[in-house]
Chains A and B, each alone.
Chain A
């Protein structure tokens, strides 16, 4: 067992928790949960002092002031842009190579060890080198994002090819499908669920690294604004930017979930999810 390529079983998080319940009751409980969370936050403010934990109200006010500024939208745009560009490059690089590396024999065996080592290098290790080479810039950030998010996509692609139903392969051979048709009509569709799982993991890593590159490497974006607000002791602003980073994460997760539902409408796992 040199390398078990793991089918990353990232759960579609709480997807199945939707019970058929009167929705008014359900939203009532949810509203109660929101109120309890805000009360806990407020309690933390009172306990620790608002120089450490600004109250939810202060944070919202700070966020409201930020939203009116151009610098805010520039920072958000920089973070979103780098994340998406990095992800796109990672997909273009990793998926074809992974499908190739997974297609058997020589390619699989000879890439195994190298990939296994390279993927375990913590991607943030490269920040200092990337800063030397590219300066505190979006290029540096994208290099870092690509290096980190390539691996989940690659591994899922390797795994996807190996899991293509052997029966389908035999049938396609019996019907003398062309090589092209084998890839386009059989391998790609049956790989899609795996690739989308890879994309979900990769997108989380991409955003994490985007913020890390801003925080440590000083690339422009939300992470740098958080660091600047912290250094300038503008605590509510720092909190507001963290909330924004979280909202970006939520948006990214939602985007991947929507892609999953759209692209896999034919797949049993999605069909049964709607039950």
Chain B
């Protein structure tokens, strides 16, 4: 592959100077000034073009293929985008429908993170307890979380607290399972060192075990986040009077297809935005981690 050089400069540079990987890509010999800058600019533009051409083509195809569409199900993209602006920004549905959804999502997800990490730590440190309750955990984490929605409606009703509870339940398990695994897989040498230095249990827990489990906990938290997004949408689709999930389904049932598409666009953007935020948080939390430092460069 000839384009490897433009596409992954850091790694190629790193093979010659393994310890300078962060700056190696950007560092040019000081003698090349104007020519070097131009070459770098060219490389950068080429790289951007390489990344961007396919999305541009895909959106272009959608735009032009749907431009004169008379199909009731696939209105022109132009119309969808104009309507998205109209409905969500001008009419203010961002604050009336999107914001409540996001707040419920964050509340449920927050509960899941706190309970999942705490319970995961406890079970990870108490192997006998873990072994005893393992069948129950295997059973509970296998419940497809949307299945408990009707039960939650019976028990809690149709309010926001029901949605928060369902999200918390569904997002809990990936976090808990990964925390247990992360705590249990602490490097034995690290464990021995912290014993040898007679660290206080609290310090050993929060400064040694928890950080060493962090990459796995975050991997679980990432899975949990996508489950949480699914759950907020589904829970609003069954019996809410507001929220983005409710908006999309109501639009479909009223045959307001363009409205439905605007909701789908906004949900797609929401998913993408949450993913970006998660990535930033993860990068900050793991900035110290050797494996992540190396990986973050690529």
What residues make up the interface of A, taking CB atoms closer than 8 Å to B?
Answer: 1-2, 4, 6, 8-14, 16-19, 21, 26, 29-30, 32-34, 37, 48, 52-53, 104-106, 108-114, 116-117, 120-129, 131-133, 201, 204, 207-212, 215-216, 222-223, 226-227, 229-230, 235, 238-239, 241-242, 245-250, 252-253
Q: List 21 A-B contacts (CB under 8 A).
A: A1-B298, A4-B295, A10-B220, A13-B181, A26-B131, A52-B155, A53-B155, A105-B7, A109-B7, A110-B51, A122-B267, A125-B233, A127-B237, A216-B238, A223-B147, A226-B151, A235-B154, A242-B147, A242-B148, A249-B141, A253-B138
Range, interface on chain B:
35 or more
CB contacts (< 8 Å) of B131 on chain A: these are 17-19, 21, 26, 29-30
Q: Are A201 and B223 in contact (CB under 8 A)?
A: yes
Q: Are B180 and A14 in contact (CB under 8 A)?
A: yes
Q: Are A52 and B154 in contact (CB under 8 A)?
A: yes
Q: How long is the Cα–Cα vector from A215 to B177 in the complex, in angstroms?
A: 27
Chain A residue at minimum C-beta to C-beta distance from B250: A128
B123 to chain A, nearest CB (A): 9
Q: Are A123 and B155 in contact (CB under 8 A)?
A: no
B249-298 contacts to A (CB < 8 Å): 249, 251-252, 257, 260, 263-264, 267-268, 270-272, 274-275, 279, 283, 295-298
A10-B174, A222-B147 provided; 6 other pairs, C-beta below 8 A?
Answer: A10-B178, A13-B138, A14-B134, A109-B7, A113-B51, A117-B55
Chain B residue at minimum C-beta to C-beta distance from A21: B131
B128 close to chain A: CB less than 8 A: yes
Q: Are B138 and A104 in contact (CB under 8 A)?
A: no
Main secondary structure of the interface of A (DSSP, over half): helix
B137 close to chain A: CB less than 8 A: yes
Chain A residue at minimum C-beta to C-beta distance from B283: A1
B249 to chain A, nearest CB (A): 6
Q: A14-B137, A17-B131, A121-B267 are in contact. Are A132 and B257 (CB under 8 A)?
A: yes
B247 to chain A, nearest CB (A): 10
The list of the 10 closest CB pairs from A to B, nearest first, reads: A11-B181, A249-B142, A105-B1, A128-B252, A230-B150, A120-B271, A29-B132, A245-B147, A246-B143, A105-B3
Q: Are A34 and B136 in contact (CB under 8 A)?
A: yes
Q: Are A246 and B229 in contact (CB under 8 A)?
A: no
Main secondary structure of the interface of B (DSSP, over half): helix
CB contacts (< 8 Å) of A29 on chain B: these are 128, 131-132
Q: Are B268 and A30 in contact (CB under 8 A)?
A: no
B139 close to chain A: CB less than 8 A: yes
B248 close to chain A: CB less than 8 A: yes
Q: B130, B223, B257: which has the most chain A beta carbons within 10 Å?
A: B223
CB contacts (< 8 Å) of A10 on chain B: these are 174, 178, 219-220, 223
Q: Are A227 and B142 in contact (CB under 8 A)?
A: no
CB contacts (< 8 Å) of B132 on chain A: these are 29-30, 32-33
B16 to chain A, nearest CB (A): 15
What residues make up the interface of B, taking CB atoms closer than 8 Å to A?
Answer: 1-4, 7, 47, 50-55, 58, 73, 127-128, 130-151, 153-155, 174, 177-178, 180-182, 184-185, 215-216, 219-220, 222-223, 226-227, 229-230, 233-234, 237-238, 245, 248-249, 251-252, 257, 260, 263-264, 267-268, 270-272, 274-275, 279, 283, 295-298
Chain A residue at minimum C-beta to C-beta distance from B222: A6
B274 to chain A, nearest CB (A): 7
Q: Are A109 and B50 in contact (CB under 8 A)?
A: yes
A124 to chain B, nearest CB (A): 5
Q: Are A249 and B144 in contact (CB under 8 A)?
A: yes
Q: A8, A16, A120: which has the most chain B beta carbons within 10 Å?
A: A120
A15 to chain B, nearest CB (A): 8
Q: A19-B131, A34-B135, A105-B2 are in contact. Are A121 and B145 (CB under 8 A)?
A: no
Q: How long is the Cα–Cα vector from A111 to B50 in the complex, in angstroms?
A: 9
Q: Are A114 and B275 in contact (CB under 8 A)?
A: no
Chain A residue at minimum C-beta to C-beta distance from B276: A120
Chain A residue at minimum C-beta to C-beta distance from B150: A230
